[in-house]
Amino acid sequence: MLEDIINTERWRIHTEAFCNQCRSSLDQDGVIVLPDFLTPHAVDVLQNEGRRHQSKAYYTQSSHNVYLTQYDAEYPSQHARNRPVVSSKGCITTDQIPTTSYLHTLYKSEVFKTFLANVLGEAELYEYADPLSSINLHYAGEGQELGWHFDNSSFAITLLIQKPEAGGVFEYVPNVRTHDKGNADDWNFDTVNAILDQQYPVQSLSMDAGSLVLFRGRNALHRVTPTVGITTRMLAVLAYNSEPGVALSESARMTFYGRIG
């Protein structure tokens, strides 16, 4: 039952009025947060499940630029084009999450998908064609973080499952680029440098376990600060495509998951 998972009393996701309200907030701010989207029961179940499967997580530590692109030798190494930032996290994949998990139920739910499609302005949402990429559970233990970056995909859907004692804060600067408006060669090196040099105001999202976040991360530079304390940050990413049959590339799967299937 969807009511076991989603707090449908508070969040009227099946109504047109609520979808319209979310859509205009997302268009205006690039992000929306729905606190207590998951029921306390679902948070409890998903935290336990996450802990049970944590030993299967594949951990990566990587140095990358904010654009998540290959190094370009035409530019100096400390130029915004190449400036390295560090990301370290662990993750389990769709196939490692029990088929009975609330995450699968939610991911497949027609009511939930219709809500997301309406808010995101997509005709339909499709699962990934590969067995790994649709649902990921991320783990960030003490000191682990996600460095500043732009996403490749135009939207992201996340659920905070477990909040660390401190740190693990999602920080972002909206509208650094204009890729979603069709300007694929907009790099905005100056603003990127200012943000990396801590010379630019950044916003942070305050959220607790159970929050749903919808985020447009292709134009907004964002990061997650290092986890502080012994409680692991756990966050589920629900990834959809606008078209059917799309798989994450094998090289990206090797980078994120250490295997292709």
Ligand X SMILES: O=C(O)CCC(=O)C(=O)O
- Which partner in Fe ion, ligand X, none is near 170 (CB below 5 to 8 A by kind)? ligand X
**Exposed e or buried b per residue across 93-126, where buried means at least 16 C-beta atoms within 10 angstroms of its C-beta:** bbebbeeebbbebbbebeebbebbbbbbebeebe
Closest approach of Cβ 166 to ligand X, in Å?
Answer: 15
- 217 counts as binding Fe ion under rule CB under 5 A: yes
CB of 172 to ligand X, least distance (A): 9
30 is a contact residue toward Fe ion (CB under 5 A): no
Output 81 or 149, the one with its CB closest to ligand X: 149
164 counts as binding Fe ion under rule CB under 5 A: no
Q: For residues 140-159, which are near ligand X according to CB under 6 A?
A: 146, 151, 158
Among 73-81, 96-104, 143-151, 229-237, the segment contacting Fe ion (CB under 5 A) = 143-151
Picking from 92, 171, 176, the residue whose alpha carbon sits closest to that of residue 131 is: 92
Binding of Fe ion at residue 168 (CB under 5 A)?
no
Q: How far apart are CA 170 and CA 150, in angstroms?
A: 13
- In the chain, DSSP assigns E strands to 31-34, 58-64, 85-92, 135-140, 146-149, 156-162, 166-167, 170-173, 203-205, 212-215, 221-224, 227-228, 233-238
Residue of 34, 92, 224, 248 that binds ligand X (CB under 6 A): 224
Q: Is 222 in the site for ligand X (CB under 6 A)?
A: yes
Using alpha carbons, list the distances in angstroms from residue 170 to 82, 88, 118, 140, 158. 23, 15, 25, 13, 11
Judged by the rule CB under 5 A, the positions of this chain that interact with Fe ion are 151, 217
Residues that bind ligand X (CB under 6 A): 138, 146, 151, 158, 170, 217, 222, 224, 235, 237
